[in-house]
């Protein structure tokens, strides 16, 4: 059975923290590393920004390509997505500031993410999928609330905690095994 897999980008496929930290370190001569992130909005305690609005203004980078155009891939993400796409539909479901829409599509194309369907949306639960994979605590809570009959998976990261009813996934290999077991 072919499944619709709702896959988040930032924190799951793209290493958001490594991306913003690389730009921040270069611009402000700091030495931040992704292992320093232990909470959802870690940008505030780790940087000089006083608000998330200030962080996002910086991330936009004026008229040039913003933060989302420069994010590195997590090493195991692409091979797993390519294998999964042979038997399933990869549905990208991501939340971005409006200014990042075009650069998100460019990033997906440049990295040849194997998908034919992309949703940039705040309420991810509105996109119908059989299995969801996300790292955002608020997204996981709303997905399991709105789709208790679906498989909702938390990509375990230092910035998220277990959510009742959500399956914990610690690697792309684990996620692939879960999807293949559900398929049969």
Each residue of 58-81: pLDDT tens digit? 999 866 678 998 899 999 999 999
**Structure tokens belonging to residue 15:** 């290493």
Q: Does 50 share its domain with 123?
A: no
**Mean pLDDT, rounded, for 122-147:** 97
Q: Are residues 101 and 43 in the same domain?
A: no
Q: Could you tell me the CATH number of the domain that includes residue 134?
A: 3.40.50.1000
Are 81 and 166 within one domain?
Answer: yes
Q: Which domain holds residue 141?
A: 4-15+70-183
Q: Based on the domain organization, do 129 and 174 belong to the same domain?
A: yes
Number of domains in the chain: 2
Looking at the structure, tell me whether residues 110 and 144 fall in a common domain: yes
Structure tokens at 164: 């009742």
Q: Are residues 74 and 160 in the same domain?
A: yes
Indicate the pTM of the whole model.
0.95
Q: Are residues 105 and 164 in the same domain?
A: yes
H or E stretch at 176:
helix 172-183
Q: Which two tokens stand for residue 28?
A: 């402000």
Residue 65 has a pLDDT of 77
Pair 167, 152: CB distance under 8 Å: yes
Higher pLDDT, 62 or 165: 165
Q: Both 49 and 75 in a single domain?
A: no
Check residue 182 and give its pLDDT. 85
Question: Does residue 93 share a domain with residue 61?
Answer: no
Please state the rounded mean pLDDT for residues 76-95: 98
């Amino acid at each position: 059975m072919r499944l619709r897999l709702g896959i988040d980008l930032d924190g799951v496929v793209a290493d958001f923290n490594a991306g913003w930290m690389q730009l921040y370190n270069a611009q402000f001569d700091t030495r931040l590393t992704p292992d320093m992130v232990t909470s959802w909005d870690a940008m505030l305690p780790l940087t000089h920004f006083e608000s998330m609005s200030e962080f996002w203004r910086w991330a936009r980078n004026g008229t040039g390509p913003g933060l989302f155009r420069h994010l590195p891939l997590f090493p195991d993400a692409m091979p797993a997505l390519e294998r999964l796409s042979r038997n399933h539909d990869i549905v990208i479901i991501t939340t971005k500031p409006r200014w990042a829409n075009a650069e998100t599509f460019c990033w997906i194309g440049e990295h040849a993410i194997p998908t034919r369907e992309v949703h940039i949306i705040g309420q991810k639960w509105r996109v119908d999928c059989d299995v969801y994979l996300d790292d955002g605590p608020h997204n996981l809570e709303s997905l399991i609330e709105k789709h208790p009959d679906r498989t909702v998976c938390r990509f375990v990261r230092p910035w998220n905690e277990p959510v009742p009813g959500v399956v914990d996934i610690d690697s792309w290999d684990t996620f692939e095994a879960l999807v293949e077991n559900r398929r049969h």
